[in-house]
């Protein structure tokens, strides 16, 4: 459930009409609902309330400082994958001991930053990285908590570009070699082995791959303990999918996911970390856009809107579907019309949806792309020199711009022309 509903014939974010935001901030603009974020975070907490746990929000899904502050104030930890994300989490007030650092290519500079600023744990993804971190930590006189990310070779049954748990993927160390790698980790200075980490992919709509992966983690944990390792923490990654289509079977709920975790690893008496991103923020956001032109093609009509692939890349990149809805509620039984909804960018890939069923639209009409809160604004760019899309957070009957649209002067000022030109 989210808080984007029609009230008095107009689509609202909580108690704010989206048309008010469009009038005051302009379009395109991302709009997030604080109540939805809060609710979704609570569902994960509830799903794990049978054990010690930390829900670490995957910062990559939405890294706006206001979103991170809201999550952090609710008690969330953060899963970060770069210096920038680490600094954002800290700037949002999240203490280092609630931040886990994931990612296959952490640089020495990034690891140093996190050791200096405080870190809950590094999730190590390879032996060279493990050795580099050991050397660095030892040289700084520090001992850092680590979990090793294992690749369980499980098919997540999701889009190939966001599956991470098969042996052909670049992530983690093969689970078959884990015993050996943990033995080396235990010998290395500067590292304290605390746990096992796994993440098999994103937008999973079936619990079976999670179950398979977590069972393998449980088995490994037993084997590692038998070798004398103190495994007290399991980081089980993120990946639980969301409904992108209102008319479809909904994916499993966080509470069901929590049960799978309990069944697979509950007996191990470990603290559980999870790293959900999309499931918390995906349906807590929409991208609001205005129709620039309605263009009649030879055999179809195009709705040319002022949002484009640079603002919401998912359809162009993954063929992803986002429900598109009019901001003015269509009357009961109103005729629908098929439109190809496209942006102004000079690529045919800049198509959000073909034959979207919408009421008759006119230039100046507003539409919303639903389920756009995760991997939306964070993947936006200024391609075609379109200003980076702004973001707004709604709470109840008020809203705030949480990232302003840059002016053209600001955009141009970031470049410089060398004196010899």
- Chain residues binding ligand LLP by CB under 6 A are 58, 60-61, 79, 102, 162, 199, 202-203, 237-239, 275-279, 314, 318, 374-375
Q: What is the 3-state secondary structure (H, E, C) of 312-371?
A: CCHHHHHCCCCCEEECECCCCCCCEEEEEEECCCCCCCCEEEEEEEEECCCCCCEEEECC
Checking DSSP bridges between strand 324-326 and strand 366-369, what pairing results, if any? antiparallel
d(CA 149, CA 172): 5
DSSP state of 163: B
Give the integer Cα–Cα distance in Å for 28 and 46.
35
Q: Which is nearer to ligand LLP, 14 or 79 (CB)?
A: 79
Provide the minimum distance between the beta carbon of 88 and ligand LLP in the complex, in angstroms, as a whole number: 16
Q: Cite the active site residues.
A: 346
Q: How far is CA 357 from the centre of its chain?
A: 28
Secondary structure element (H or E) that encloses residue 295, with its range: strand 285-296
Instruction: Report the C-alpha gap between 366 and 12 in whole angstroms.
Output: 12
Closer to ligand LLP by CB, 12 or 98: give it: 98
Tell whether the torsion through CA atoms of 325, 328, 333 and 336 is positive or negative: negative
Q: How far is the CB of 240 from ligand LLP (least distance, A)?
A: 6
Q: Which of 316, 306, 314, 386 is nearest to 351 (CA)?
A: 316
Could you give the C-alpha distances from 188 to 57, 185, 221, 379, in angstroms and in order?
30, 5, 20, 37
Q: Which is nearer to ligand LLP, 200 or 327 (CB)?
A: 200
Cα 194 to Cα 144, 191, 229, 235, distances in angstroms? 10, 9, 8, 10
> Are 171 and 148 within 8 A, CB to CB?
no
Q: Are strands 301-305 and 285-296 parallel, antiparallel or unpaired?
A: antiparallel
């Amino acid at each position: 459930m989210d808080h984007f509903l029609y009230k008095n014939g107009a689509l609202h974010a909580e108690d704010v009409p989206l048309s008010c935001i469009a009038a005051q901030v302009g379009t395109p603009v991302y709009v997030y609902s604080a109540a939805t974020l809060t609710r979704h975070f609570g569902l994960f907490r509830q799903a794990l309330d049978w054990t010690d746990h930390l829900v670490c929000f995957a910062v990559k899904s939405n890294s706006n400082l206001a979103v991170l502050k809201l999550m952090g104030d609710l008690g969330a930890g953060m899963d970060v994958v770069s210096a920038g994300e680490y600094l954002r989490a800290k700037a949002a007030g999240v203490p280092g001991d609630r931040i886990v650092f994931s990612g296959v290519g952490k640089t020495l500079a990034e690891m140093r930053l996190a050791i200096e600023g405080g870190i809950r744990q590094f999730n190590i993804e390879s032996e060279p990285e493990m050795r580099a971190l050991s050397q660095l930590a030892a040289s700084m006189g520090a001992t850092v908590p680590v979990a090793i990310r294992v690749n369980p070779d499980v098919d997540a049954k999701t889009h190939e570009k966001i599956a991470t748990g098969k042996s052909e993927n670049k992530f983690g160390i093969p689970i078959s070699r884990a015993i050996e790698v943990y033995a080396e980790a235990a010998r290395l200075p500067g590292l304290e082995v605390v746990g096992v980490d796994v993440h098999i992919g994103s937008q999973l709509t079936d619990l079976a791959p999670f179950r398979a992966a977590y069972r393998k983690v449980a088995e490994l944990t037993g084997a590692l303990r038998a070798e004398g390792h103190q495994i007290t923490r399991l980081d089980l990654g993120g990946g639980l999918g969301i409904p992108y289509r209102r008319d479809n079977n909904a994916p499993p709920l966080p509470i069901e996911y929590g049960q799978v975790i309990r069944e697979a690893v509950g007996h191990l008496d470990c603290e559980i970390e999870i790293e959900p991103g999309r499931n918390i923020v995906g349906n807590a956001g929409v991208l609001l856009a205005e129709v620039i032109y309605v263009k009649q093609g030879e055999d179809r009509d195009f709705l040319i809107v002022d949002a484009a692939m640079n603002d919401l890349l998912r359809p162009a990149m993954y063929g992803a579907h986002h429900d598109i809805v009019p901001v003015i509620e269509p009357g009961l039984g109103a005729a629908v019309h098929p439109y190809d909804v496209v942006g102004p960018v000079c690529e045919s890939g800049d198509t959000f949806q073909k034959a979207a069923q919408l009421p008759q639209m006119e230039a100046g009409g507003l539409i919303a792309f639903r389920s756009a809160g995760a991997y939306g604004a964070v993947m936006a760019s200024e391609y075609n020199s379109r200003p980076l899309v702004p973001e707004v957070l709604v709470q109840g009957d008020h809203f705030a711009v949480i990232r302003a649209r840059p002016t053209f002067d600001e955009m141009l000022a970031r470049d410089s022309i060398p004196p010899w030109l």
